């Protein structure tokens, strides 16, 4: 049993989640792995137990299923050893918005936003009472770029970014660290499942490099980590422009440009 806090990771059977599991295990953290594919998680868990000696629990759950989601929520509420939550589970669907079915859209929103928010909400009261804890939310640079065309997926990731920023402001004074990680194109199975050829993309980051960069941001206690962004000044300018609008939001009347001549 590790003396370090336990980390619960969603979407842990493959890709980004599996690499997070590897890295946290190598840091000496016990793990709770959550995903639909229990066989893949068991293989990963066996390897991590052998290589690192940490304890690894496998919790099979489809986070779009309300009963299975509730079971993970209960674990987060009741297991005081869990002090790190990595909200990694996410999905996209094939086609453009006009081509996606209502069920496709509902599934994307259910996993990418509803499940993430509910899991975060389940653990936050305990973290606040303990005065410590970390929440890592995997968003995407698509949250900042509707031009990429991934309309619903991007909208869910914009939600994750906003939620993380709001939680950072609210929870940091309570001792809770919140990080939003914004990957660009990363070599994971989400592309194939979305009907896209990852090898046709102009630039793709390997998942190990993405997670290692995100963890460097985690260690630095960044609230926003954008691994592919070369100059942090670009984010600072973007954020400053956003904040410069604040004084103009408090107005008694509509701006003159919206008033009749």
| Distance, CA of 117 to CA of 200 (rounded, Å) | 33
| Distance, CA of 36 to CA of 34 (rounded, Å) | 7
Name residue, tokens 């962004």: 229
Find, among 4, 102, 94, the residue nearest to 53 by Cα.
4
Tokens (6 digits) for 63: 């986070």
SS3 state of residue 33: strand
| Distance, CA of 154 to CA of 207 (rounded, Å) | 20
Asked if 153 is an active-site residue, the reply is: yes
H or E, element range at 94: none
Find out whether 56 and 33 touch, Cβ atoms under 8 Å: yes
Of all residues in the chain, what percent are helix, strand and coil, respectively (each to 5)?
A: 55, 15, 30
Length of the chain: 261
| Distance, CA of 140 to CA of 161 (rounded, Å) | 8
Catalytic residue among 153, 177, 218, 258: 153
Tokens (6 digits) for 129: 């009472």
Interhelix angle 38-52/15-26, nearest 10 degrees? 20
SS3 state of residue 23: helix
Q: Fill in the DSSP letter of residue 110.
A: I
Start-to-end CA span in the chain (Å): 73
Residues marked active site are found at 153
């Amino acid at each position: 049993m590790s003396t370090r806090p336990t980390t619960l990771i969603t979407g842990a059977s493959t890709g980004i989640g599996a690499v997070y599991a590897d890295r946290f295990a190598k840091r000496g953290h016990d793990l709770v792995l959550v995903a639909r594919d229990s066989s893949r998680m068991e293989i990963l868990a066996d390897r991590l137990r052998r290589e690192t000696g940490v304890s690894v629990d496998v919790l099979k759950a489809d986070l779009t299923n309300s009963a299975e989601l509730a079971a993970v929520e209960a674990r987060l509420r009741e297991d005081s050893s869990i002090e790190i939550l990595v909200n990694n589970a996410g999905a996209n669907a094939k086609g453009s918005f006009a081509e996606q079915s209502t069920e496709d859209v509902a599934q994307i929103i259910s996993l990418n936003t509803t499940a993430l928010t509910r899991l975060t909400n389940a653990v936050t009261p305990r973290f606040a009472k303990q005065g410590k804890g970390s929440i890592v939310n995997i968003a995407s640079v698509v949250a900042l770029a509707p031009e990429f065309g991934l309309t619903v997926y991007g909208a869910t990731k914009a939600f994750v970014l906003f939620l993380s920023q709001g939680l950072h402001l609210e929870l940091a004074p309570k001792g809770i660290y919140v990080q939003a990680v914004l990957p660009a194109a990363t070599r994971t199975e989400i592309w194939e499942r979305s009907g896209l050829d990852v090898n046709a993309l102009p630039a793709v980051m390997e998942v190990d490099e993405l997670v290692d960069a995100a963890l460097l941001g985690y260690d630095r206690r960044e609230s926003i980590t954008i691994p592919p962004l070369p100059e942090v000044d670009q984010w600072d300018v973007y954020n400053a422009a956003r904040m410069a609008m604040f004084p103009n939001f408090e107005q008694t009347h509509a701006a003159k440009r919206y008033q009749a001549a």
